[in-house]
Structure 1
Amino acid sequence: MRLFDFHARLPSGGAADLLAAMDAAGVDHAAVCAGGLVDLDRLSEQIVDGGRSEARADNEGVRRACTASGGRLVPFFFADPYRDVAAYRAAAPRYRGLEISPAVHGFRLDDPGVDALATIAAGAGHPVYVVCLGRPGTRTEDLVALATRHPAVTFVSGHCGHTGLDAAGLNRIAARPNIAVELSGCFTAVARLAVRRLGAGRVLFGTEHPLQHPAVEVAKLHALGLAPDDLALVAAGNARRLLALEER
């Protein structure tokens, strides 16, 4: 079975650890974004209490590592809506997707900068990865509103919601066809609900490496007991379609 990790992170320092973990878990390809902008203590506080990091993502370092990977790694641009709109517009042709993070950069999904980034993503044909939070302006219903304003963009809800147990959020997402979900970090019960409520064509395998070892998420994927055709879509087919890699 081919495996395409739709969400891994690449801290500064190269891709050797990620590629080794992928090899150990049998993962063929991964979409990667800059990682390590804030430490876990601060990140966990910002998720609960709010706050903003001014740390800049090493997007160019991610792109170089992907180029050196022989095609195994696919670069995403990690954008701060408050200051990266122009940078993303200029760099978009060199990337395959966009990530925005309310947890890291402390914005609401109705911020004008978010709409500006989504408009650029639409023109570039990029999916937009975002993890919702529990605060006003960053909840699943706010992602649905964002996706409604930008119907040409496919948004990917990371971790099936911010708690890994956001079953109600799946119901909100189901009615908005340009939102898919990514499975890293969520419970198997929620992952099965995602396939049932959204259909296998809107569900993506991911790992959140290095916070999670890919082998853990591969085991979870197999534990879902999906039909072979559905498994093939979730494991790799949907990622390749969203990233326009079907012919590669």
Structure 2
Amino acid sequence: MTVVDFHARLAPGDGEPGRLLAMMDQAGIDRAAVCAGGLLPLERLAEQLNDGGRTETAADNEGVREACERSGGRLLPFFFADPVRDVEAYGKRAFDFRGLEISPAVHGGRLDDERVAELVAVAGSAGHPVYVVTVAHPGGRPADLVRLAARFPRVTFVWGHCGHTGLDIAGLNALEGSHNVLAELSGSLTVTARLAVARLGAARVLFGTEYPLQQPEVELCKIDALGLDPAARAAVLGANACRVLSEEM
């Protein structure tokens, strides 16, 4: 069975991608979609999740791309875009990456900002999925993701962490009818993950780890706890990711 981690991060430093690849080997993960990490301290991120705000620190997208090149095809780079300043940069470099991440939690802003729409339009042209972590602030909520996904029905969106609380059942309900939105499970509670599979169907659910903030084995144990049948388990653990990323199984 192919196992694909749809959401890991690479923080700046000489130890990567070696640490991530070693962790993947230990956990039995074949490939991972990775995005830049380490843009702001965890205390600051927690504050922004609660109170809003943005970081001015630029994501090391080029560093992520270079690390992925050294991985023998196991790591797939995502471009972490700040809508305020990265529209042009992503437009120029999109085909060097495999997906796009937009995070109101990190960069603030709203999903109805036209600069976000410009980023998504580029993603659509490049065939990229768009990973979005929603928040509780106006403009960044699951309902706002629903409206954005409706504007771009041919783009695949991924709802990161099934919301930012681990128990965003209301968000899951809001997104159920948006068939171009998939749910990624890292950081969510088991009950939320189980409801995601039940309400969206296994074909719309993705395994992720949120490495390095979470041990991959913890997220794999959560998949085990769901009690999925073999076909659904294979879909969630890797087949869906391969489909979304146009990867061979």
User: Is TM-score (shorter-chain normalized) higher than 0.5?
Assistant: yes
Q: Which residue in the other structure is 1:110 paired with?
A: 112
RMSD over aligned CA atoms reads 0.8
Shift of 1:24: 1.3
Q: Which residue in the other structure is 1:237 paired with?
A: 239
Task: Measure, in 2, the Cα distance between the counterparts of 1:49 and 1:212.
Answer: 24
Shift of 1:167: 1.1
Task: Measure, in 1, the Cα distance between the counterparts of 2:95 and 2:137.
Answer: 33
Unmatched 5+ residue regions in structure 1?
none
Pick from 129, 133, 140 the counterpart of residue 135 of structure 2. Answer: 133
Q: Which residue in the other structure is 2:223 paired with?
A: 221
1:98 aligns with 2:100: yes
Q: Which residue in the other structure is 1:35 paired with?
A: 37
Show CA shifts across 1:91-126 (max 9, x none): 000110000110111111111110000000000000
1:18 aligns with 2:20: yes
Shift of 1:2: 2.2
Task: Measure, in 2, the Cα distance between the counterparts of 1:135 and 1:89.
Answer: 28
| TM-score (normalizing by structure 2) | 0.98
Q: Which residue in the other structure is 2:79 paired with?
A: 77
Q: What SS is found at the alignment partner of 2:186?
A: coil
Amino acid at match of 2:30: D
Task: Measure, in 1, the Cα distance between the counterparts of 2:70 and 2:17.
Answer: 9
Amino acid at match of 1:63: R
Pick from 139, 143, 162 the counterpart of residue 160 of structure 1. Answer: 162
Task: Measure, in 2, the Cα distance between the counterparts of 1:138 and 1:41.
Answer: 20
Matches within 5 A, 1:192-231: 192-231=194-233
Task: Measure, in 2, the Cα distance between the counterparts of 1:4 and 1:33.
Answer: 14
Q: Which residue in the other structure is 2:8 paired with?
A: 8
Amino acid at match of 2:5: D
Runs of 4+ in 1 over 4 A off after TM superposition: none
How many residues are paired up?
247
Amino acid at match of 2:122: I
| TM-score (normalizing by structure 1) | 0.98
Deviates more, 1:17-26 or 1:37-46: 17-26
Shift of 1:150: 0.9
Q: What SS is found at the alignment partner of 1:107?
A: coil
Show CA shifts across 1:207-237 (max 9, x none): 0000001111011111110010000000000
Amino acid at match of 1:216: V
Shift of 1:23: 1.2
Shift of 1:30: 0.3
Q: Which residue in the other structure is 2:192 paired with?
A: 190
Task: Measure, in 2, the Cα distance between the counterparts of 1:52 and 1:181.
Answer: 24
Task: Measure, in 1, the Cα distance between the counterparts of 2:2 and 2:224.
Answer: 13
Q: What SS is found at the alignment partner of 1:55?
A: coil
Shift of 1:184: 0.2
Q: Which residue in the other structure is 2:88 paired with?
A: 86
Unmatched 5+ residue regions in structure 2?
none
Show CA shifts across 1:103-160 (max 9, x none): 1111111111100000000000000001100111111000000001111111100111
